[in-house]
Amino acid sequence: MSRNPLVPSFAVITGEQVDQVLTGDERQVVALTEDVYRLHGRGSTVNPPSYFLRFPDRPSSRIIALPASVGGEEATDGLKWISSFPENVAAGIPRASAVLILNDPGTGYPFACLESSIISASRTAASAVLAAERLSADERPRRIGFIGTGLIARYIHRYFEATGWTFDELGVHDLSDEHAQSFAGYLQSRPDTAPVVVHDSAEELIRSSDLVVFATVAGAPHIHEPSWFSHCPLVLNVSLRDVSPEVVLASANFVDDVEHCLKADTSVHLTEQRTGNRDFIDGTLCDVLEGRADVPRDRPVIFSPFGLGVLDIALGRHVHDRLREAGRLGVVDGFFHELDRYGRTGA
User: Which pLDDT belongs to residue 2?
Assistant: 46
Q: What is the pLDDT of residues 99-145, one digit of tens each?
A: 999 999 999 999 999 999 999 999 999 999 999 999 997 789 999 99
Q: What is the pLDDT of residues 267-280, one digit of tens each?
A: 999 999 999 999 99
pLDDT higher than threshold 80 for residue 266: yes
Same domain, 144 and 243: yes
347, part of any domain: no
- In whole angstroms, give the CA distance from residue 239 to residue 128: 11
User: Which pLDDT belongs to residue 199?
Assistant: 98
334, part of any domain: no
Same domain, 86 and 166: no
What is the band of 316 on the pLDDT scale with cuts at 50, 70, 90?
Answer: very high
User: Which pLDDT belongs to residue 345?
Assistant: 55
Q: What is the pLDDT of residues 152-183, one digit of tens each?
A: 999 999 999 999 999 999 999 999 999 999 99
Residue length of the chain? 347
pLDDT higher than threshold 90 for residue 6: no
Angle between helices 309-325 and 117-135 (to 10 degrees): 110
Q: What is the pLDDT of residues 65-88, one digit of tens each?
A: 999 999 988 899 999 999 999 899
Task: Give the chain's mean pLDDT.
Answer: 95
164, part of any domain: yes
Same domain, 151 and 254: yes
Same domain, 73 and 106: yes
Same domain, 199 and 113: no
User: Which pLDDT belongs to residue 138?
Assistant: 79
User: Which pLDDT belongs to residue 73?
Assistant: 84
pLDDT higher than threshold 60 for residue 346: no
Angle between helices 15-22 and 117-135 (to 10 degrees): 30
- In whole angstroms, give the CA distance from residue 172 to residue 212: 10
Same domain, 234 and 297: yes
Same domain, 166 and 270: yes
345, part of any domain: no
User: Which pLDDT belongs to residue 347?
Assistant: 47
Percent of the chain at pLDDT > 90 equals 88
344, part of any domain: no
CB atoms within 10 A of CB 297: 10
Predicted model pTM: 0.94
- Helix and strand counts by DSSP (H, E) for the chain: 11, 15
- In whole angstroms, give the CA distance from residue 282 to residue 284: 7
DSSP 12-43: EE-HHHHHHHHTT-HHHHHHHHHHHHHHHHTT
In which region does residue 258 sit, left (phi positive, over 0), alpha (psi from -120 to 50) or beta (all else)? alpha
Same domain, 165 and 291: yes
Mean pLDDT calculated for residue range 307-318: 97
340, part of any domain: no
What is the band of 42 on the pLDDT scale with cuts at 50, 70, 90?
Answer: very high
3-state secondary structure of 311: helix
CATH of the domain at 63: 3.30.1780.10
pLDDT higher than threshold 60 for residue 37: yes
146, part of any domain: yes
What is the band of 3 on the pLDDT scale with cuts at 50, 70, 90?
Answer: low
User: Which pLDDT belongs to residue 163?
Assistant: 97
Range of the domain at 172: 125-304
CB atoms within 10 A of CB 198: 17
Same domain, 318 and 235: no
Same domain, 155 and 239: yes
Same domain, 270 and 143: yes
Same domain, 295 and 314: no
CATH of the domain at 224: 3.40.50.720
pLDDT higher than threshold 90 for residue 340: no
Higher pLDDT, 5 or 292: 292
144, part of any domain: yes
* Domains held by the chain: number: 2
Mean pLDDT calculated for residue range 219-243: 97
